Structure 1
Amino acid sequence: MTTNRDEVREFLTSRRAKVRPEQVGLPAGPNRRVPGLRRTEVAILAGVSVEYYSRLERGDLAGASESVLHAVATALQLDEAERDHLFDLARTANGSSARRPRARSRTASVRPSLQLMLDAVSAGPALIRNGRMDILATNLLARALHVEALAAVPERPLNMARFAFLHRESAERFYPDWDVAADMIVAILRTEAGRDPYDRDLQDLVGELSTRSAEFRTKWGDHNVRRHVTGVKRFRHPVVGDVEFLFEGTELPGTPGWNLNIYLAEPGTPTEDALRLLASWAATREQEASTGTPEGKAAGPATATPPAPGAARSAG
């Protein structure tokens, strides 16, 4: 992973390159040699000297006031996630990051009450994940939805970034819009890197993916960040086919960095029908696993291989 100074420089440079002069009321001009704005233009828009802004863009955010950071964020037209990321970087540069070095935590302990909460959600898949994209706990429908990922990635907890980039064939089946999903995953990791720069597990994950995946290296270099709280999610399941869920996510107040994600089907849609089929298939599959039938005993509830899609549909 890069140092904080490197991260600041690359983030600010990449954001400046994305802003077109006409977006901020400046003429593009025929002799412009840089993509986006010039440093002098950002400095003028932010109300600081060119020398001071140049220092910031070299990676030195130490001592920058909140008013200056707000002015730079406005000049660069940062969205809410990007603005938060800039302030996270500044806190780290000032040595006041809310999170400090900690021991490795490859295995996370989920409170029984959180699992009970997930199990009480029957309207759709529900899961808890951290900022590294580890899935820490699931309800029945979420386990069923992610059956292909659970089968493809042997390590636990299941990490969706490893699945997306290191198991591309399975991931491209699961994500009909793989490139969109991959962009979002990388942006979540980049956001977490700003929030928790001392997370060694995250550093190891980014290093592994950067070494093993050219696509990840390219997307990581874009320095995009996202707040992942609501939207539409599309998946392809080997039994029920394509589904399109309404997505809601929120950080769990008692466990900073852990997010509750719930996927819901809009009433009267094909996804609502598919969700009923998924629930039936999941219940049968977990019952077989718990009663020790040959199919369930061989695979268990987390990694059972689903029947062939064609056979499942014709049987249902």
Structure 2
Amino acid sequence: MSTQNSDDVREFLTSRRAKVRPEQVDLPGGPNRRVPGLRRSEVAMLASVSVEYYARLERGNLNGVSEAVLNAIATALQLDEAERQHLFDLARAANASTARRPRSSSRPATIRPGLQLMLDAVTGGPALIRNGRMDILATNLLARALHAEAYSTLRERPVNLARFAFLHRENAERFYPDWDLAADMIVAILRAEAGRDPHGRDMQDLIGELCTRSEEFRIKWGDHNVRRHVTGVKRFLHPVVGDLEFLFEGTELPDQPGWSLNVYMAEPGTPTADALRILASWEATREQEEDTADQNAHSASTARAAG
């Protein structure tokens, strides 16, 4: 078990315990309590384990913990589905081989032709595939148009929405009408991915970069919130068509751990539906102009080489 894993376990369990009020679990509260939320002894009682054993877990030691105990702790702390999965991911990492495990290096993302065809078949709204570190791996035309600000702002490929949100705050605040809510969601997704793949080199490097360069990220990362984002309403402000409001649906790709297919849909007859038609035409024209410019540049380069 690594020191990092132990720290993550301790901080996650401590932060979740602080969020549960005694009255939520039918325990007496009162003004004289010295800790926010539940006491360790109360969590131990609710989970039917000894205080000493729970204290060991909260110190960051999940070695040998059983699935039944993890479920009991998750229930006592009223963890939601994403938080429960995160606790199990932390335990899985803690119970991996005690030998020092090298940091895994992510292979370049390769999108199967079938996945790209599926995205391109979605013409009624933006559709994209992203990984757990918030890299956009593949898009349809409308998703490229929707995220035009991020593509033009960032030089690195694939475009990373976490870097865009925290390291280019002024541009991101124009794109996300509620930047703080969007930023919380991004950090919660990153935290869940870090628990799922604690040895991922690219993830560790990204978190280190964001913590170093963004105080806002560092604060939000320290909250240890995790979340699965699979449905809801998304709002954006696009520089060409203005306000956009989508119904959002997301699903994980079962054969690609950490990859998520996200689709944004506009309700028929809404201003967003009208705006998407304009956006599709704008993006198609823009991409055609870029292709023409690239072809002209290539032809000029070939002519110079031949001369």
After TM superposition, the score normalised by the length of structure 1 is: 0.89
Aligned position for 1:229: 230
Separation of aligned partners in 1, 2:272 and 2:30: 50
Separation of aligned partners in 2, 1:35 and 1:257: 34
Higher mean alpha-carbon deviation, 238-247 vs 277-286, is at 277-286
Query: Cα offset for 1:111?
Result: 1.7
Given the superposition, is the C-alpha separation of residues 175 and 297 from structure 1 closer, same or farther in structure 2, using an over 3 Å criterion? farther
- Is 1:107 aligned to residue 91 of structure 2? no
Given the superposition, is the C-alpha separation of residues 194 and 237 from structure 1 closer, same or farther in structure 2, using an over 3 Å criterion? same
- Is 1:71 aligned to residue 72 of structure 2? yes
* One-letter amino acid matched to 2:275: A
Separation of aligned partners in 1, 2:109 and 2:79: 34
| 4+ residue runs over 6 A deviation | none
Separation of aligned partners in 1, 2:236 and 2:97: 40
SS at match of 1:242: strand
Given the superposition, is the C-alpha separation of residues 106 and 208 from structure 1 closer, same or farther in structure 2, using an over 3 Å criterion? farther
Q: Deviations over 1:245-290 (max 9, x none)?
A: 1111111122222111111101121111111111121122222223
Separation of aligned partners in 1, 2:291 and 2:194: 40
Aligned position for 1:313: none
Aligned position for 1:30: 31
Aligned position for 2:167: 166
Query: Cα offset for 1:54?
Result: 0.4
- Is 1:13 aligned to residue 14 of structure 2? yes
Aligned position for 1:220: 221
Aligned position for 2:93: 92
Checking the alignment, whether the CA contact within 8 Å between 2:106 and 2:201 is kept in structure 1 is: no
- Is 1:205 aligned to residue 171 of structure 2? no
Checking the alignment, whether the CA contact within 8 Å between 1:187 and 1:223 is kept in structure 2 is: yes
> After superposition, where does 1:155-194 map in structure 2 within 5 Å?
155-194=156-195
* One-letter amino acid matched to 1:124: G
* One-letter amino acid matched to 1:52: Y
Aligned position for 1:124: 125
Checking the alignment, whether the CA contact within 8 Å between 1:125 and 1:264 is kept in structure 2 is: yes
Separation of aligned partners in 2, 1:172 and 1:96: 43
Aligned position for 1:271: 272
Given the superposition, is the C-alpha separation of residues 2 and 280 from structure 1 closer, same or farther in structure 2, using an over 3 Å criterion? farther
Separation of aligned partners in 2, 1:275 and 1:2: 49
- Is 1:153 aligned to residue 154 of structure 2? yes
SS at match of 2:274: helix
Separation of aligned partners in 1, 2:131 and 2:61: 29
Checking the alignment, whether the CA contact within 8 Å between 1:18 and 1:36 is kept in structure 2 is: yes
After TM superposition, the score normalised by the length of structure 2 is: 0.91
Count matched residues: 294
Separation of aligned partners in 1, 2:152 and 2:283: 15
Please provide the CA RMSD for this pair.
Answer: 1.9
Query: Cα offset for 1:128?
Result: 0.8
Separation of aligned partners in 1, 2:148 and 2:92: 40
Checking the alignment, whether the CA contact within 8 Å between 1:289 and 1:297 is kept in structure 2 is: no
Checking the alignment, whether the CA contact within 8 Å between 1:101 and 1:199 is kept in structure 2 is: no
Checking the alignment, whether the CA contact within 8 Å between 2:109 and 2:137 is kept in structure 1 is: yes
Unaligned residue ranges in structure 1 (runs of 5+):
299-316
